[in-house]
Every structure is written in C-alpha cells, then in structure tokens.
Amino acid sequence: MKYSFKNDYAEGAHPKVLEALLQTNKDQQSGYGLDDYSLAAKAIIKQKINNPKSTVDFVSGGTQANLIAISSFLRPHESVVAAATGHIFTNESGAIESTGHKVHAVETENGKIRPEDIQTVIEGHQNKPHQVKQKLVYISNSTEVGTIYLKDELRNLYDYCQRNNLYLFVDGARLGHALTAETNNLTLEDFGKYTDAFYLGGTKNGALIGEAIVINNENLQEDFGFHLKQKGALLAKGRLLGIQFQELLKDDLYFDLAKHANQQAMKIKKAFREISHDFLTETFTNQIFPMLSHSQIEQLSQNFDFYVWKKLDQDQAAIRIITSWATEDYVVEQFINEIKNLK
Amino acid sequence: MKYSFKNDYAEGAHPKVLEALLQTNKDQQSGYGLDDYSLAAKAIIKQKINNPKSTVDFVSGGTQANLIAISSFLRPHESVVAAATGHIFTNESGAIESTGHKVHAVETENGKIRPEDIQTVIEGHQNKPHQVKQKLVYISNSTEVGTIYLKDELRNLYDYCQRNNLYLFVDGARLGHALTAETNNLTLEDFGKYTDAFYLGGTKNGALIGEAIVINNENLQEDFGFHLKQKGALLAKGRLLGIQFQELLKDDLYFDLAKHANQQAMKIKKAFREISHDFLTETFTNQIFPMLSHSQIEQLSQNFDFYVWKKLDQDQAAIRIITSWATEDYVVEQFINEIKNLK
Amino acid sequence: MKYSFKNDYAEGAHPKVLEALLQTNKDQQSGYGLDDYSLAAKAIIKQKINNPKSTVDFVSGGTQANLIAISSFLRPHESVVAAATGHIFTNESGAIESTGHKVHAVETENGKIRPEDIQTVIEGHQNKPHQVKQKLVYISNSTEVGTIYLKDELRNLYDYCQRNNLYLFVDGARLGHALTAETNNLTLEDFGKYTDAFYLGGTKNGALIGEAIVINNENLQEDFGFHLKQKGALLAKGRLLGIQFQELLKDDLYFDLAKHANQQAMKIKKAFREISHDFLTETFTNQIFPMLSHSQIEQLSQNFDFYVWKKLDQDQAAIRIITSWATEDYVVEQFINEIKNLK
Amino acid sequence: MKYSFKNDYAEGAHPKVLEALLQTNKDQQSGYGLDDYSLAAKAIIKQKINNPKSTVDFVSGGTQANLIAISSFLRPHESVVAAATGHIFTNESGAIESTGHKVHAVETENGKIRPEDIQTVIEGHQNKPHQVKQKLVYISNSTEVGTIYLKDELRNLYDYCQRNNLYLFVDGARLGHALTAETNNLTLEDFGKYTDAFYLGGTKNGALIGEAIVINNENLQEDFGFHLKQKGALLAKGRLLGIQFQELLKDDLYFDLAKHANQQAMKIKKAFREISHDFLTETFTNQIFPMLSHSQIEQLSQNFDFYVWKKLDQDQAAIRIITSWATEDYVVEQFINEIKNLK
C-alpha cells in the first residue's frame, strides 16, 4: 500500500496517549466531563493560556466544536464572517447554516481575513433589518491553506472586533501547528487574550479524537453545557477526552508533536524548492501546496498518496502534502528522493 | 472511595477493545468512516441482523444517534411519539426539539409504549394542519426503567406503525442488555426486521464511545452521511468506532458483556427480594429499582454510591442500582452482604 | 346557510376599519412598519399601557406573534412552560418546537397556570445540563377555554417569574374580551407592568388581520425587527396593520367591540342556565361551553353551526359557542329561542 | 411632500380590490383559506396556468413565501443556488438560513442565472458528504435588477434542473411586470410547466398583501398546509387573501396593472435615454436604473424621492426608479419635465 500524505489523521493516537488510556481504564469516574482527568486537563489549559476566568470544554471533533460554539454564541438573526476557504463555509456540509446562521464568505489571498474584509461585509449590510447582522468573525489558525496569523494580525482583528461589537472565534484544529511554525510569533496565551473563544485541536495532533473549546468572553460562557448536551456532544465517558488532553498537554507533548509535523513538511518543502517548484501559498506549517506538472504528479503518485488540490492550467496543478506527528523520517527521506528524481 | 452503582459508564473500555486499538494504531487508514475496521464492523452487523439492505453508521453517543436519525427521517412538520420516561423526552436537553420536532409524551406503566397509546395521540391531533403530524414512534429497549419489549409487543408496534404510516425507531443504548435478559425472546435479527431503524449501543457495553445506527427502511437511507457530517458526528478518525465495534461483535463479546451485567444485577435483585423488598418496576436487565426505607438507603450509601430515583412517600424511596460489564463478583458479594444486614 | 358560532373570525372587519383603509388608500407611505399610521398606532398603545419604554410591533396573526416573540427571547437551550390547553402547545402545528424550543405542558383545571404548576416543572428538571432550562412562561388571556386571569393571579405569576429568572409572555389573541369581561379586574396598563411581553389581538376583535406585540422588558427589545423580517412577518405595506390598530384603539372601539361580543355570549349563557344546563368551564368572555345531551346538540345544529368541543360520556358533550363583535342581536335572540325549546 | 419612486408598495390597494373587500365583508366564511373566495381564486389561477394538478396557497408576503416554500421542499442537508442579487441572499435577513439551508450565491451580469452558473457550484461541491448537496435553484422574474427571463432561458434552466435532480423555484414578487414587459415571450402557463413551484406576487401589483404560491411538482405538494401553519402564515381570515386575488385575476386586472407600471417606467426611461443617459441594466419592467452625475441626482431629488442604488465612480451613480399600478400620468409628466431640464 502507498504511504499517504492525504491528511493528518490517518493513524491512531500517539503511543503515550494510548498508554494513558490503558493506565486509567479501571478507575471509576463521573460521567459527562466531570471526571478527574477532564478537570485536570481543563486546569492545565487555563494555566497555559494564563486566563483563570476562561472556561474549557472538550468535544469530539472540529465541526462539532464550530457548530456548538457558534450557535451558542449567536442570536437567531446574527451571522458569521469567514474566509471563502474557511472550513465552516466549504467543508462542514452547511453545519452552521443548519443551526440557522448565515455565513458570509470573504475572498482572500492566503486564507487570512483582515479587518478591511470584514468592514466590506458590514458596509454591504446596512439595510436593517432586511439584511442580517454580522456578529462573529471566524478565522482558522493555521488556515485551511496552511498559512498562519502573526501577532499584529490577530491583535488588529481582535481590536477591530471589539470596536465593532463582534466576537472573534478561532478554529484551532491545527493551532499546535500554527504555534510551532518557524515564522510564528504568537503564543497560546495570546489566544486567551485576543479572542472571545477558540478551540485547540487534538484529533490532528496526536489524539484519537478531541478538541478543547476555550471561552474567554465571560458573557459567552453561561449555560454552555446545555448546548454541548443538546447537540449530542457530551460524551458519557468524557474521560476519553480528558485523559488525552491531559497527556498531550501536561509536558508539552502537544507542541512537540506539532513541531515534528511542521519539520517534516519543511524538509519536503525544501526538496521541492530545490528543484525550483513554486507553491500555491507560502506555508510554514504541516501543509504544503507545491505546483507540479501533471506528469510529475503522475510520477509522484506511483508510491505516495496525496490530494490534487487545484488545477492551475492545462499543464499544472497544485497538490497538497500533509505531514503529522506520525510521519516518520524514513518516509520523508523516501519521498524526498522521489522529488529529486522528478523531471 | 465508594464503589459506584450510579451508572454503566464509570469505567473505560473492555481490555480487548483497548488491545485492538493498540494493535491497529499505526495503520494508515481513510478518514470519516471509510477505514477497513469500520467497513468490517458494518459487515458484521448487517450479517447479524440478517438484512443485507440495511445501512450501518457509527456515531459517538446516544443523544447524537437519536437527534441525527430522527431529524434526518422527518420533514419539518412531523412529530415523535415517545414514553414520558423516554430519554429523548426527559434527558437530552431538548435535542429533538432543537432540530425542530415536537415530542409527544405518553404516560406508561413500565416505560413501554403500546399501539393504543400512539392511537390516543393521533386521535387527539386530527385538526389538520393546525396540529402537528405524528410520524415517528420512539421506543427504548431496554427502557429507561430497565424493562424490555417482548417479541409480540415489538411486532404489534411495528405492524401498527406500518398500517398508520409511522416509522418505528428504537433507542438501543442498552439493547445488548435487553437481548440477554432471561425473560427476553427477541433477537438482533428481529430488530433488522421489525423496525425502520435502531441503534446498538457501545458506550454502555464495553466501548469507550460508540453507537451503531442501523437503518432498515431503504427510504430513510438516502444521503444519511450528510446528516452525520452536518451535525458534527463524522469523526475524522472513524476507525476509533469501527475498531471497537469490530472487537465487540466479531465473537459475541458484546453479548457476553451484557449478560454479565444482567447477571450481576439479578444477584443483587435476589438479595433484595430475599429480605422481602419490593421494586418500582420488575426488571431483568442491568438496572434494578428496589424500594427502601430512608434509613436503609442511608445505611447502604455508607459504602456504595447510587441514585435515589424516586421518593415514594415519607418513609420510602426507590433507588437505582446499575451494573455493567465491569462489575466484578467481589463487589457484588460485598454489596449483597450489606443488603443482608439491612434492618 | 346556517349561522355559525364556530369562531370569532368568520366575518371581515368592523366597517370603521374598512372605512379607514379606504380613506388612507392613496397616501404614499414608507414600507415595513415605518408608515405614519403604524407610528401613530404604536404611540397610542404605549400611552394606553402607560409604559413609554415598551416597544410595539405589528404582525399578521397569533401563531406568528407567538413564534417570533418566543424564538427571539430565548437562547437555544431554553424552554417554555404552558398550559396543556395552550394554543402554542396544541394548535400551532409545532411552531415553537420548529424554532428549536421545547414546550412543557401543564395540566390545569381551567386553562390557567399557577406558580406551583411552574414550580413542579422546574423541580422535575434539575439534572442540568441533561434537562432543558425553563425560561419563559406562556399564558393566554382570555384562555383557550374562555377563562380570565384576575389581578392577583397575574401579579403572583409575574412575581414568581421575576424571582425565578423567567419571562412572562401573554398571548392576547382575545385580550380585549378578557379586559371587558364582567368579572375582570385587570387593565391594559397592568399588562404593561406585570408581563415581560404580550400581544394584543386584532384578528378576533374587528380587524382583518393584525396583532400588536408589546415588549416591556428592555432586555428583550434589542434587534426585534430582524426577527420580524427573518420570519417573514414584516409586511411591505405595514400600513395595513397600522391603520387598523389606529382605528380600533383611538376611541376605544376595540374595547366596545370586545364588550359587545362578551355580552352576546352572556345572554346565551343565561339562556342555557335557565333551562339548567351546566358548563365545562365557568366563563365570562365570548366563549361558552355548555354541556348538552346528544339529542339537544342535534336539535341546535339544525339551524346553527358550532363545534362539539369534548365528549363527556355516552349521553353528553360540551359544545363551544363563540360570539364576536359581529354577532347581531337578532341572531342571538333566534338562538336563545331555540335553546328555550330544547328538551 | 415629494413624490416617491422608491418602491412599488407605497400606496394601498387598487380601488377594485378595496371595493371587493367591502362587498364581501359581512359574509360568514370558513377560516384558514377554506373560504369561498380563496377557493375561487385558487381555481382561477389553476385555470390560468393550465395545470389542474398544481396546488395554490396564499400567504401574506414574499419573504414568507420564499422561506415556507423552500424549507418545505428541502431536506436538512440540501442547499439553494441563487444569484448574488437574489432577494433571499441579500434582503431577507437570513430567512432561508434560519430554516437551516445554505444559499450559494452566483455572481451574474444581469441578475439572471444560467445553467453553467449552477454547474460551477455543483462541481465545486463534490466532496460528499463534507459539502452540502445542491437541490433547489431560486430565480426571480422579473429580477431584483429589473431584467426578465426569456422562454428559452427558462426552459433551458428547467431542463438542466430536471437532468440534475434539482428543483426550480421562481420568486414572482413582480411576475406580473415580467409577463407584461414588451420584450417578454413567456406566459403564466409556462410557469405552470417549466418550474417546480413559483409564486405570483400581489403586494407589488395592486393588493394590500398577498402572494400566491403555486406548486406544480406533485412530490412537493404533500402536507404543504402544515408548513403554512407552522411558520405562522395561515391567516384566520384567509378571505383577505382570496378576495384580493379573485378580484385581481378574474378579469386580468392583475396584468393591466403591471402593464401600466411598466409603461410608466418606459416613458421615464425614454426621457433619460433622450438626454443620452446610460443604464446599469437594460430593463423593460417597472424598475429602471439610470446612471447620473451626482449633481443631476441632487437636482432630481429636489422634488422626487428615489434610491441611489450604486455608486459607480467619483462622478456618477445609478439611481433606481420604480413605478407601480398607482403611478399616475401627471406625475410621470412632471418627472419627465425635470429630466429634460437636467444639465
């Protein structure tokens, strides 16, 4: 079977995570997130973001995190502004609209939203109450095209949102990868400070399942548990989520794994660069999008699996290569060898 | 710490399930339920229910299973009939209503719905279109009060539903316990035959998480995957669900575990009976509801945890004792000893 | 054709209302409720309830008023407590549930809810967040069975709601009839004081269509216009609603019409009483529910139309007689004659 | 006060419509659309579209018509394709999304959708079930920018929809204006043939309120009444809608009024053309969008009211002039005089 660079969730969990599940298996624990492990994991996260007033809740996946957070924050007439590449706009089967809220898509150059993009949407919706009211800005970090927000960018967005009575919510399915990218200058603490809420992804970074929803804005915290339950996200054995996050975060395993994934991607990026290939976006995380000729793509797919991301013209397309915590050195070396042999 | 009989999800997973997770951990697999393990587990279930045209999908929990199945089956104006004790009516934080559908509650003697109960609801809603249209009957087996449906009862319900253009949906969070109860005369195959859809619960019977939604009615199968995705139930690492169900079902471990839970409960029931205590409902599954005096409850709770289920009068209350696949013999013996010592 | 006592919306509008539509027909006016007539009508209502901080908005019908008000007031996990006879529970085709909210039905003796009824619901939903959160109490005045709330009753309910962090919302489809009943001791002003919101019905009291939603609680007023628009209630020619309410309310025509309807019903009630018939509920508004033998019902239906409301036993049933602003004296006299001739 | 060309709903109803309301006012009629007038009006419409199997229902406004039709036709995971100028996308405060459905916006040149536009959306959503399923195409005729569909265009769209398992739904708020435009080659009958459903607007063409929803596709007709009720659209005095449509349609008054509106607009268009002004879109209905300099706009707004529709550059903007059944000749002449005097 070919080795797959199609996604970062092809394997199970990091061995330490499984080991923790084994070690704790026979303990009797309270259900629904009130187990000792979940409580401990929540405390660790609150400490790491240095915001004791934040709340933390665990859910099983990213779409679930997005739909529950957003639908609990908004009133029925309020809408969301997102990049056209945003996961909620394109790849969650209308989950946000299914909870009743419109998502406005903003075309971007690199998957990142700027205050002026939001401003344009707001200015185009001044015929009240005939046009929906924008209330939440959704960004992803790292984005769906592998890019990351810098400190100034996040702060400017948050300031803009504060001034315009908007919530800023960050989809952090790959927040670990963003925070460990070589160009990054943000910290987890900044996300406790410059967002109303965000989630920290486990599924794509060493866990079997699990995302941690962090709500910083105290006005948005009330009764959040009801929303988890009502949307089917409150696991009876919430320990499954708590144990994993505790293990990933207690000694920074989470960040080590993300850094590893990034480094593997950067090695591959360098190999492509050396044979002078261009990229769809310039990324420093675990996703790269080299532009190749169709015959090169054909050649590479003999032994490796990946997505053809975007057809560029008759000759060329961009492919997507994703690495993960589980991508081993020898595989990367094999792949680099094949890249070197590309005509 | 006291031993808890409060629920059947206090421990992790059966060791064989964890072992299977370990063994398969490094395989690269497709995401979102297309992994080999999920495909194999689906095949096993279809074989066991002897209905090759049924579809099987795995989700993480019971509320999620109920809300996705029901909301995908119904049009906006259609409603659900359930027992007043039904999980969807009382304990899912309005999850069904949240998807837009009314739930009609029927008072029952033992948690079980009869055709005449449904008929009464329908007859009370003849002022069309001012009153909602009943379209789905929700039952649980075993019920929330530990009772089970017999073959004639299920068949009669299904016949009634067929004749009245209603769907019959079974919440099988504890279907294993129902099917291995000593008084049971139904088989898993019957659920492939006499229901439109049902789910088979893993969380309460040896899995970390996981319920298998089985749709027998072919008209209800179309596009079900979109609903899983839209409601946030499609796990990236769907393997987590597939592996567990494969392990539980390939050699009937699932039924052995449920039978074990039932037997432990029956031993405890016998002990209560011997000191001549009465029960709220007569059950043969892993839930029993003995009626005790307040001082007896006090006495028992010195060393054991359980819920006081229902206050009966000034002197008495019914408690709920739940056993599980993880309830060990020595604990049961200790508990029985305490029961024998009750005044 | 038989004369119909089946409902209070069988005729068009009071002639003065039609006349006002004719007189204003050619004026050019702003759309969507910003016309001069709507503004004037809103001012009149605010003056009559003596609460300058209240807001007033007009919609076309009662179900629309209920669903928009309730869905705009509540967050997704919040539920409504209503009488089992409440219009939203039985006769609006699941409109409230369609917006995502559960309605808890309380059995009552006379269609009226008491604080202790609400308390029972709340006490039965303490397993948070597994059970929905009660947040709004819905009452009707006059009720669906013709009864009315007295001043103490309304004040006690409101006090209870205030203490328990609940909203009190009144369906006033027949508020005119309640306020002009001979036993009434409430004023329109009281509804501006002892409720969070209510609506004042036009359709059943002289208008072609139209209900006025009044929101007293300032926290519930924000952005209400968006909800009107989003739910399809914002009429382009909002003048249609404004003109009617202006005409009905400027000189108390509204109350005169309701009083007329009540008086006609009371005459009929007296006639039934004189031949010693009993009533399902004791009412002083425009709905009466005499209990008759089947042969008497047969006899009366020769020349008059009405609903058989409830079968009581093999011999008897309660019928519903509704009068309206349009019920003329000669019809009442004819009907009374027939009553007198009943065996 | 200035004369307003801002919209086509500034006045009340055509005098004949009011007269009909007066004439029928005292008849006792059944409620909720079962009155004789509604039944007669439905019969007339079915006859005019020459499709006896179609169903007709009346609602009060366009947003209501759109949201009820679309939400009753679609399952939860299905989405709508519309022009970016489409009323449901921009001006209904998220009403469609509020019922759970995503609306995909297509950029167009003239407000009209072509099969290739839909094809592009479908091709961009092939990652099933992660991306929503397109199921309904929404078009307006005349469009929001005054243009109309020709016979070939409508037929091609319908054929495309049929082949791709999509519904074609037409927002006919101004269908009368489209069908009486000088360039039009479609008939009302064509809309009974080449659409799955459409609505025929009354509010903007002589009625006080009212839109007639026509469903041709028999699969979409079942239980439609429940949706009308559940969404608050079923008027107790449905006669109000029936009487108006009966009056408008029995002798083609409806088409005469629309033609009048178009003609008034064409006179004004000609006047602009003569002083060599350009238009944003070339229209033949009751909306025209001349491009003027800011000083010309200033000059015209001395005595007339209209919307500045779109800023074009530093010097120019397009204004929108709307005429209606109520626009009288003398006003048009006055306005034309002012146009002639523009510098």
Give yes or no for a contact between A106 and A83, defined as CB atoms under 8 angstroms apart: yes
D269 and D208 in a common domain: no
Query: Any residues with CB less than 8 A from the CB of D328 and at least 6 apart, and which?
Result: none
Residues of D near B (CB-CB distance < 8 A)? Answer: 32, 71-72, 75-77, 99-100, 128-130, 132-133, 223, 225-230, 234
Residue B316: burial class (beta carbons within 10 Å; 0-12, 13-18, 19+): middle
Among residues A251, A267, A299, the one where a domain terminates is A251
- Is C229 close to A129, i.e. CB distance below 8 A? yes
Q: Which helix (H) or strand (E) holds B152?
A: helix B151-163
Residues of chain D with C-beta less than 8 angstroms from the C-beta of C92: 229-230
Are the CB atoms for B156 and B194 separated by under 8 Å? no
Same domain, C35 and C108: yes
The residues, any chain, with a CB within 8 Å of residue D221's CB and separated by 6 or more, are D55, D215
> What local confidence, expressed as pLDDT, does residue C321 receive?
98
Residue C277 pLDDT grade (very low, low, confident, very high; cuts 50, 70, 90): confident
Identify whether residues C231 and C157 lie together within a single domain: yes
| Facing residue for C127 by CB, picked from B91, B98, B131 | B91
Write the CATH number for D275: 3.90.1150.10
Q: Are residues B300 and B196 in the same domain?
A: no
Q: Which whole-number Å values give the CA distances from B4 to A235, B322, B342, in the listed order? A: 19, 9, 19
Are A47 and A19 members of one domain?
A: yes
Instruction: Specify whether D239 is located in the same domain as D100.
Output: yes
Domain end, chosen from D223, D253, D283, is at D253
> How many domains are contained in chain A?
2
Q: Which domain holds residue B196?
A: 15-251
Chain B hits for C103, Cβ within 8 Å: 102
Q: Does residue C320 share a domain with residue C236?
A: no
The answer to whether A93 contacts B230, with C-beta atoms less than 8 Å apart, is: yes
Q: What is the DSSP string of A204-272?
A: TTT-SS-EEEEE--GGGTTTHHHHHHHTT---TTTHHHHHHHHHHHHTSHHHHHHHHHHHHHHHHHHHH
pLDDT at C343 over 80: no
Q: Residue D216: exposed, middle, or buried by beta-carbon count in 10 A (0-12, 13-18, 19+)? A: buried
Model confidence, pTM: 0.97
Copy the structure tokens of residue D65.
């018509």
Q: Which chain A residues contact residue C100 at CB under 8 A?
A: 100
**pLDDT the model gives residue D60:** 97
Q: How many residues does chain A have?
A: 343
Nearest to C11 among D7, D28, D234 (CB): D28
Looking at the structure, tell me whether residues D234 and D271 fall in a common domain: no
Q: Which residues, other chains included, contact B250 with Cβ-Cβ below 8 Å and sequence gap of 6+?
A: B44
Selection from D6, D3, D10 nearest residue D330 by Cα: D3
The domain boundary, picked from C217, C251, C285, lies at: C251
Q: What distance in Å separates the CA atoms of residue A179 and residue A198, rounded to the nearest whole number?
A: 14
Give the Cα separation of D335 and B165 in Å (integer): 63
First to last CA, chain D: 24
Distance from CA of D130 to the nearest CA of A (A): 5
Cα–Cα distance measured from residue C152 to residue B318, given in angstroms and rounded to the nearest whole number:
39
Number of residues in chain D: 343
User: Would the pLDDT of A343 be above 80?
Assistant: no
Q: Examine the pLDDT at A1 and tell me if it is beyond 90.
A: no
C103 and C163, same domain (yes or no)? yes
CB-nearest to D76 from B72, B133, B225 is B72
ipTM summary value: 0.97
Residues of A whose CB is below 8 A from D77: 93-94, 98
pLDDT tens-digit series, residues B282-339: 999 999 999 999 999 999 999 999 999 999 999 999 999 999 999 999 999 999 999 9
Nearest Cα of chain D lies from the Cα of A215 at a distance, in angstroms, of: 25
User: Which chains have 3 or more CB–CB distances shorter than 8 Å to chain C?
Assistant: A, B, D
Give the chain A residue nearest D92 (alpha carbons). Answer: A130
Give CA B343 to chain center in angstroms: 35
Q: Which structure tokens are listed for C315?
A: 């011999």
pLDDT at D1: 79
Contact at CB, A101 and D97, closer than 8 angstroms: yes
pLDDT at D75: 98
pLDDT at site C51: 95
**Residues C307, C173 within the same domain:** no
- From first to last of its 343 residues, chain D has per-residue pLDDT tens of 799 999 999 999 999 999 999 999 999 999 999 999 999 999 999 999 999 999 999 999 999 999 999 999 999 999 999 999 999 999 999 999 999 999 999 999 999 999 999 999 999 999 999 999 999 999 999 999 999 999 999 999 999 999 999 999 999 999 999 999 999 999 999 999 999 999 999 999 999 999 999 999 999 999 999 999 999 999 999 999 999 999 999 999 999 999 999 999 999 999 999 988 899 999 999 999 999 999 999 999 999 999 999 999 999 999 999 999 999 999 999 999 999 999 7
CATH of the domain at C70: 3.40.640.10
Low-confidence ranges of chain B (pLDDT < 50): none
A232 and A188 part of one domain? yes
Out of A12, A209, A236, the one facing B235 most closely (by C-beta) is A209
Q: Which of B315, B194, B231 lies closest to B59, judged by CA?
A: B231
Q: Using a CB-CB distance cutoff of 8 angstroms, which residues of chain A are in contact with residue D129?
A: 93
- Reduced to 3 states (helix: H, G, I; strand: E, B; else coil), residue D3 is strand
Which residues of B are less than 8 Å from A326 in CB distance?
26
For A239-286, what is each residue's pLDDT tens digit? 999 999 999 999 999 999 999 999 999 999 999 999 888 999 999 999
Please indicate, yes or no, whether residues A108 and A196 belong to a single structural domain of this protein: yes
CB atoms within 10 A of CB A270: 12
For C13, nearest residue in chain D (alpha carbons): D25
Tell me which chain B residues have a C-beta less than 8 angstroms from the C-beta of D129: 223, 225-226, 228-230, 234
Can you tell me the distance from the alpha carbon of A246 to that of B44, in angstroms, rounded to the nearest whole number? 35
What is the per-residue pLDDT for C1? 79
Closest Cβ–Cβ partner in D9, D66, D67 for C236: D9
Under 8 Å between Cβ of D315 and D296: no
Q: Which residues pair with A167 in a beta bridge?
A: A136
Q: Do C226 and A72 touch (CB under 8 A)?
A: no
Question: At a CB cut-off of 8 Å and minimum separation 6, what does A102 contact?
Answer: A79, A80, A132, D94, D97, D103
**Stretch A191-218: mean pLDDT, rounded?**
98
